[in-house]
C-alpha cells in the first residue's frame, strides 16, 4: 500500500484548498490527498472524487515528491512547432516584409524552410510570433519621420516640461470644419442600417486650442471660413483670459496661420507660435479631439437641419470643458506621440 508522509499543517491547508482553490483540477487533487490523510482506501477515494485508481496513486506520489507545491502545479506537455528552429529568421523576414494574408505567409514560410502548413496553422504560428492582423495606416507622402523626431526631442518635449512646471501655457491649435452631411460608421446590427442624408453643405467651423496640461479647450466658432482674422481673434481672446503667463501655440503650417498679420499680432501679444514640421498631424493632439467629437455626436446620426447639427457639436464642446468626458480624454489626449515606421512596398 502506498504510504503518505504528511504534516498536520499540510492537512489543514488541504482541507481548505479542496473547497477554495480556484482551479478545479487542483481542488480534486487536494480532495484525494486529504482523504488519503484520513485513512480512506484508494477505491473509496476514487469513487468519491470521480477519478481513476491510477489518478489517486499519481496524486499521492506527486505530494510525496513535491508537497503542496506539486499539487498546485501543472504538467502539460507543450508540443514544439516544426518551425521552432526557424522562428528568428521568419520573424526577421516578416518584420521587413509583412505578408498580406495567411496564403502569402505560408508561401514565404515554405520557401524559407521547406515546410508546408495549412492556413489555420500559419495563422496560429504568426500569433505565436506576436503578430496580429491589423489595418495599415497612412501618413502624408511628404512627411519626414526624422524631422518629426528631431522636433519632438528638441522643441516639443522641452515646452511640455515648462508647461508641466507651470512656467507657461501650451496649447495645441487646429481648425475643424464640420460639414452637414451623413457621417457613416460601423456598428453591430442584424441588417445594414441606412441613415438620411441632409441636403446642403453648410459648415460649422471650430478653431480650437487644447491645453496640454489641463486638457481644457479654448475655441472660436463661425459658420463661414477660418482665416487669419479668425486666428487673430482667437489669440486676442486667449491673451485676455490669461494676461500674464507666457503662452505657446503649437500649430500646423496653414497659410492663414503662418502669415504676417498673425505673426505680427503674436509678437504684440507676446504669444509664441511654434510651427510643426510639414505634414505632421500626428504631433498635434487636438487632431485626436476632433475625431472624438465626430464619434460622439456625428457618426451614425441624422440632423434634420443645420441648427440641430450645430447645437450637437456646441453641446459636445461644452461638455468637454465641464469634465463630462474626463476619463476618456485623459487617455486620448496624453502627451505620447505616434512615430512612424514606413513600410516600403
The 10s digit of each residue's pLDDT in 2-39 is 788 888 889 889 888 889 888 888 899 999 999 989 98
What share of the chain has pLDDT > 70, as a percent? Answer: 96
Bridge partner residues of 271 (DSSP): 247
Whether pTM > 0.75 for this model: the answer is: no
Grid coordinates representing 311? 447645437
DSSP state of 203: E
For residue 202, tell me if it sits in a domain.
yes
What 3-state DSSP class applies to 196? Answer: coil
Confidence of residue 239 (pLDDT cuts 50, 70, 90): very high
pLDDT number for residue 340: 67
pLDDT number for residue 144: 84
* 43-57, 61-75, 107-121: least confidently modelled range: 61-75
DSSP state of 106: H
For residue 343, tell me if it sits in a domain.
no
Backbone φ/ψ region at 261: left (φ over 0), alpha (ψ -120 to 50), beta: alpha
75 touches 26 (CB < 8 A): no
pLDDT number for residue 178: 95
What CATH number is given to the structural domain containing 301?
3.30.420.10
Report, as an integer, the average pLDDT of 94-98: 90
**Separation of alpha carbons 345 and 340, rounded Å:** 15
Q: What is the pLDDT of residues 141-175, one digit of tens each?
A: 778 888 999 999 999 999 999 999 999 999 999 99
* 127-131, 185-189, 301-305: least confidently modelled range: 185-189
Compute the mean pLDDT over every residue in the chain, rounded to the nearest whole number. 90
Going by C-alpha positions, the residue among 299, 168, 183 that lies closest to residue 242 is 168
Parallel/antiparallel/unpaired status of strands 247-251 and 271-275: parallel
Identify which has the larger pLDDT, 135 or 181: 181
For residue 2, tell me if it sits in a domain.
no
Grid coordinates representing 343? 513600410
For residue 308, tell me if it sits in a domain.
yes
Grid coordinates representing 136? 495599415
Residue 79 has pLDDT above 80, yes or no: no
Residue 76 has pLDDT above 70, yes or no: no
Domain count, the chain: 3
Grid coordinates representing 19? 473547497
CB atoms within 10 A of CB 259: 14
Residue 315 has pLDDT above 70, yes or no: yes
For residue 138, tell me if it sits in a domain.
no
Q: Say which residue the cell 504684440 belongs to.
A: 268
Grid coordinates representing 88? 528568428
167 with 225, same domain: the answer is: yes
267: CB partners within 8 A, 6+ apart: none
Domain that holds residue 123: 84-128
Report, as an integer, the average pLDDT of 177-181: 93
pLDDT number for residue 71: 87
21 with 97, same domain: the answer is: no
Residue 54 has pLDDT above 70, yes or no: yes
pLDDT number for residue 78: 61
154 with 211, same domain: the answer is: yes
What share of the chain has pLDDT > 90, as a percent? Answer: 59
23 with 63, same domain: the answer is: yes
Backbone φ/ψ region at 49: left (φ over 0), alpha (ψ -120 to 50), beta: alpha
CB atoms within 10 A of CB 247: 21
68 with 151, same domain: the answer is: no
For residue 232, tell me if it sits in a domain.
yes
Report, as an integer, the average pLDDT of 222-249: 96
Residue 255 has pLDDT above 70, yes or no: yes
Residue 342 has pLDDT above 70, yes or no: no
Q: Say which residue the cell 459658420 belongs to.
A: 223
* 126-130, 172-176, 221-225, 268-272: least confidently modelled range: 126-130
157 with 300, same domain: the answer is: yes
298 with 255, same domain: the answer is: yes
Amino acid at each position: 500500500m502506498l504510504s503518505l508522509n504528511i504534516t498536520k499543517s499540510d492537512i489543514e491547508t488541504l482541507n481548505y484548498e479542496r473547497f477554495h482553490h480556484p482551479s478545479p483540477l487542483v481542488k480534486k487533487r487536494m480532495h484525494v490527498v486529504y482523504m488519503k490523510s484520513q485513512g480512506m482506501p484508494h477505491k473509496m477515494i476514487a469513487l468519491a472524487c470521480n477519478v481513476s485508481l491510477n489518478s489517486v496513486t499519481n496524486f499521492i506520489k506527486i505530494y510525496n515528491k513535491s508537497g503542496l507545491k506539486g499539487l498546485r502545479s501543472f504538467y502539460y506537455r507543450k508540443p514544439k512547432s516544426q518551425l521552432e528552429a526557424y522562428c528568428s529568421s521568419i520573424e526577421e523576414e516578416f518584420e521587413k516584409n509583412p505578408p498580406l494574408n495567411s496564403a502569402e505567409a505560408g508561401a514565404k514560410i515554405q520557401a524559407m524552410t521547406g515546410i508546408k502548413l495549412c492556413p489555420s496553422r500559419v495563422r496560429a504560428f504568426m500569433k505565436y510570433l506576436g503578430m496580429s492582423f491589423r489595418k495599415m495606416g497612412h501618413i502624408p507622402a511628404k512627411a519626414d519621420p526624422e524631422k518629426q523626431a528631431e522636433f519632438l526631442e528638441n522643441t516639443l518635449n522641452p515646452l511640455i516640461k515648462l508647461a508641466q512646471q507651470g512656467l507657461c501655457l501650451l496649447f495645441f491649435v487646429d481648425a475643424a470644419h464640420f460639414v452637414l452631411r451623413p457621417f457613416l460608421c460601423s456598428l453591430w446590427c442584424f441588417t445594414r442600417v441606412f441613415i438620411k442624408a441632409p441636403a446642403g453643405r453648410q459648415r460649422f467651423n471650430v478653431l480650437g486650442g487644447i491645453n496640454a496640461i489641463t486638457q481644457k479647450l479654448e475655441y472660436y466658432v463661425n459658420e463661414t471660413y477660418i482665416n487669419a482674422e479668425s486666428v487673430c481673434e482667437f489669440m486676442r481672446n486667449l491673451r485676455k483670459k490669461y494676461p500674464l503667463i507666457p503662452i505657446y501655440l503649437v500649430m500646423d503650417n496653414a497659410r492663414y496661420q503662418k502669415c504676417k498679420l498673425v505673426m505680427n499680432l503674436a509678437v504684440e501679444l507676446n504669444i509664441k507660435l511654434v510651427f510643426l514640421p510639414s505634414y505632421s498631424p500626428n504631433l498635434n493632439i487636438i487632431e485626436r479631439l476632433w475625431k472624438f467629437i465626430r464619434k460622439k455626436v456625428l457618426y451614425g446620426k441624422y440632423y434634420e437641419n443645420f441648427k440641430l447639427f450645430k447645437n450637437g457639436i456646441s453641446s459636445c464642446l461644452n461638455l468637454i470643458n465641464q469634465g463630462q468626458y474626463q476619463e476618456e480624454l485623459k487617455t486620448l489626449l496624453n502627451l505620447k506621440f505616434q512615430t512612424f515606421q514606413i513600410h516600403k512596398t
